[in-house]
Structure 1
Amino acid sequence: MTDELIVYAVGDIAPDRDDPGSLFQHVSGLLNQGDIVFGQLEAVLSERGTPLPQARLVCRAKPQVARALKDAGFRIISFASNHCMDLGREAFIDTLNVLNQAGLSVIGAGRNIAEARAPAIVETKGTRVAFLSYNSILPQAYWADVDRPGCVPMRAYTIYEQVEHDQPGTPCRIHTYPHRGDLDALVSDIRQAKLQADIVIVSMHWGIHFIPAIIADYQRDVAHAAIDAGADLILGHHAHILKGIEVYNGKVIFYSLCNFAIDLAAPKELIERPGHKEIAKLNPDWKPDPEYPTYFMPPDSRKTIIVKCEIVSHRLKRVSFLPTIINKQSQPEVLSATDPRFAQVVNYIESISQDQALGTRFTAQGNEVLDK
């Protein structure tokens, strides 16, 4: 019996269809071959609740999504999202309950801050893998406290510096810094998890959404601090577009895995909202496409990946990714190396990684891609 352990990890998930399992029909076979599968939930799974005033775009999905996730192969779900409290406390608790009832471990969110911070530790084939999750995209009061439900905060501050002081109205330089208390708590969490597990994987809901390539300063600071504290892998979410990949001290940082399984139609009322019009300016290519009726995202958001980790003898031996495409039915499909779109995904990731001076170049081995 081999002690090799396969972990798959994917990006944002928010099915909104009568048969949520159909969203995974092209990938469930692969995911069910993994020993541990991780994903980020972007929707509240409840039929209760009313939108909170600070919820900019409410993401609600049917409770049966939890069962569909389990059937698709998922085992660990992060609910540390800027949508986790969109519909209030009751709907938030409903989501935790329905995920747990389906046999899924939830990280990054809880009935109080202690529960939200607790790692999910999975022991398989003699290896213990710990998962932690944090959120930097935080509407007011979405983060947990001693006696308040919510997600685990990893807040950041933004400073706008006027570069040309004698030129009013010219573009500014943007600096971001991690919240020191949140970062100290994250480091402590990772160190404690490392005492309990062989491998520690950290999920971060963070970053600049929809804008190609750009990585905020605080993301690098947090990622490097997490690895210095003992994290073995960083998985980024929220940006709804792929971001670059960095190798820091031998550990891989995926700054954004993009979307994985999201249904989002483009009704006229959404397109004409002032809030959406402002967000759409971030990506000039973001326009309704009749060929993608349930995937209202910029074209670059159709490129995504599945992370594959191979753990041998209690060590993370190999990290690769599988280029994947979102089809016209909003479904992820893993690409073969012979498919021209495979190279398009790889070239895109290499380009945005170089744009941000991350120092990574990639090579394909079969249908998988690794750092050279």
Structure 2
Amino acid sequence: MNEVSILLTGDFCPQLRVEDLILKGQMQAVFNDLKAEFDKSDLNIVDLECPLVKDGQTIPKTGPHLKAHPEGVKALQYARVGLVAMANNHIMDYGSQGLFDTMELCKGAGIATVGVGRNLEAARKPFYTEIKGTRIAVLNITENEWSNTHGDEAGANPLDLAKNFHDIRQAKSQSDVVIVIFHGGNEFYELPSPRTKETLRFFVEAGASAVIAHHTHIVSGYEVYEGAPIFYSLGNFVFDWAGQRNSFWNTGYAVRLKIGKHTPVSFEIIPFEQNDAKPGVFRLSGEALSKFNDNLSRLNSVIADDAQLKKQFDDYCRSKKDIYNIYLEPYRNSLLASLRKRGFIPSMFSKEKRRLMLNITRCEAHRDILLKSLEN
């Protein structure tokens, strides 16, 4: 049988308790009963959500700076990961040197990378492989935040529909199957925005055989569009966070794509719990698995209904309105503006405020909420 099996997961950030296990060489305690799923795949692909560095210079940005110990690459090797998707909003947290060091580390471990490079041209390049006579291309794209390159600088492949369309079409002309891995969406929101749904469907229309998304740190649903599966968020894979226990943060799923050379891509979903009371990843079973499946069915039904999807996103935007209004609040009063102009009161636009404004206007997911807040 020439069917190709490719396993994909969401965010991998092997910090805190997981890092402790890795440094002790206890790899089995990281992956537990999920290891068997990696062992039976022809190719395993993981979203590497942080640079693997001991230290370095951080970049100015909003949000946390993430990193994990370079020994984390041994966990990827243990799980037989052959490719890491690196186009995400944290891979440049420790600058271009952190990116280059992580790429070299992976290369030395026999793990390919996709979605990043020393410039935009390199970051846009797909990963190609041939397995059992089927040629497969993998592209990796991320929304526009702090890691993207747009020219000669190092960084991650940005969401740019015109360029993305060209790249998918070009990859399709040189392969049998194209997998697009997308990092984006609204963090902690369990559904795609209508724009995200439209964008990921556009990737299929351009030629993608399957689209896999992550970034939101919460499980979302999926659909099959024009014969291609679209997964809107796999949730976290290995991402220990001290402030998150017994929450949405601790549930995720892997997707096994089953690929034939001349047949539509089929799939299997593998739900798990990660880094809750115990560090590591464990397959769901029993009542927990039943609840997961019920929730996934609920999400799928909303995704299938455009009117309901829009309503829920509008409700979500309303819940964020006050936060985004605070982000935007300038001096409105003419007297205050005059005093500011004369230097009697400080500018509200500090460097930190400017970075915040840049991010919420540049990043597509943030901008969706910003526009709704202004409309309301």
TM-score (norm 1): 0.76
Letter in 2 for 1:89: S
In structure 1, the residue matched to 2:253 is: 305
- Name the CA shift for 1:314/1:99 in 2 (closer, same or farther; >3 Å): farther
In structure 1, the residue matched to 2:48 is: 41
Q: How far did 1:145 drift?
A: 3.3
Is the 1:199–1:315 Cα contact (8 Å) retained in structure 2? no
1:12-69, Cα deviation, whole Å (9 max, x unpaired): 1000113333422332222021001111111111123222221520111011112220
Q: Does 1:254 align with 2:261?
A: no
Is the 2:43–2:81 Cα contact (8 Å) retained in structure 1? yes
For 1:196 and 1:297, how far apart are their aligned partners in 2?
45
Letter in 2 for 1:202: V
- Name the CA shift for 1:256/1:149 in 2 (closer, same or farther; >3 Å): same
1:166-206, Cα deviation, whole Å (9 max, x unpaired): xxxxxxxxxxxxxxxx1010011111111111111001110
- Name the CA shift for 1:317/1:82 in 2 (closer, same or farther; >3 Å): closer
Q: Does 1:351 align with 2:298?
A: yes
Moved more, 226-235 or 18-27: 18-27
1:241-268, Cα deviation, whole Å (9 max, x unpaired): 01121221121110000001112224xx
Q: How does 1:99-118 map to 2 (within 5 A)?
A: 99-118=106-125
Q: How far did 1:305 drift?
A: 1.2
In structure 2, the residue matched to 1:215 is: 192
In structure 1, the residue matched to 2:242 is: 265
Is the 2:246–2:277 Cα contact (8 Å) retained in structure 1? no
Q: How does 1:1-372 map to 2 (within 5 A)?
A: 2-16=1-15, 17-20=19-22, 21=27, 22-139=29-146, 142-154=147-159, 182-211=160-189, 213-266=190-243, 296=244, 299-326=247-274, 327-336=276-285, 339-358=286-305
For 2:164 and 2:141, how far apart are their aligned partners in 1?
8
Question: Unaligned 5+ residue runs, structure 1?
Answer: 155-181, 267-295, 360-372
Cα root mean square deviation, aligned: 1.7
Q: Which has the larger radius of gyration?
A: 2
Is the 2:210–2:265 Cα contact (8 Å) retained in structure 1? no
Structure with more of its chain in helix, by fraction: 2
SS at 1:47's partner residue? Answer: coil
Is the 1:198–1:315 Cα contact (8 Å) retained in structure 2? no
Q: How far did 1:137 drift?
A: 4.7
In structure 2, the residue matched to 1:364 is: none
Letter in 2 for 1:254: F
Moved more, 39-48 or 319-328: 319-328
Q: How far did 1:100 drift?
A: 1.4
Aligned-residue identity in percent: 30
Q: How far did 1:132 drift?
A: 0.5
Letter in 2 for 1:244: G
For 1:355 and 1:195, how far apart are their aligned partners in 2?
34
For 1:36 and 1:202, how far apart are their aligned partners in 2?
15
SS at 1:60's partner residue? Answer: coil
Letter in 1 for 2:255: V
Q: How many residues align?
A: 297
Is the 2:165–2:203 Cα contact (8 Å) retained in structure 1? yes
Moved more, 83-92 or 310-319: 310-319
In structure 2, the residue matched to 1:293 is: none
Is the 1:261–1:330 Cα contact (8 Å) retained in structure 2? no
For 2:222 and 2:305, how far apart are their aligned partners in 1?
7
- Name the CA shift for 1:4/1:88 in 2 (closer, same or farther; >3 Å): same
Is the 2:228–2:264 Cα contact (8 Å) retained in structure 1? no
TM-score (norm 2): 0.75
Structure with more of its chain in strand, by fraction: 1
SS at 1:256's partner residue? Answer: coil
Question: Unaligned 5+ residue runs, structure 2?
Answer: 307-376
- Name the CA shift for 1:264/1:113 in 2 (closer, same or farther; >3 Å): same
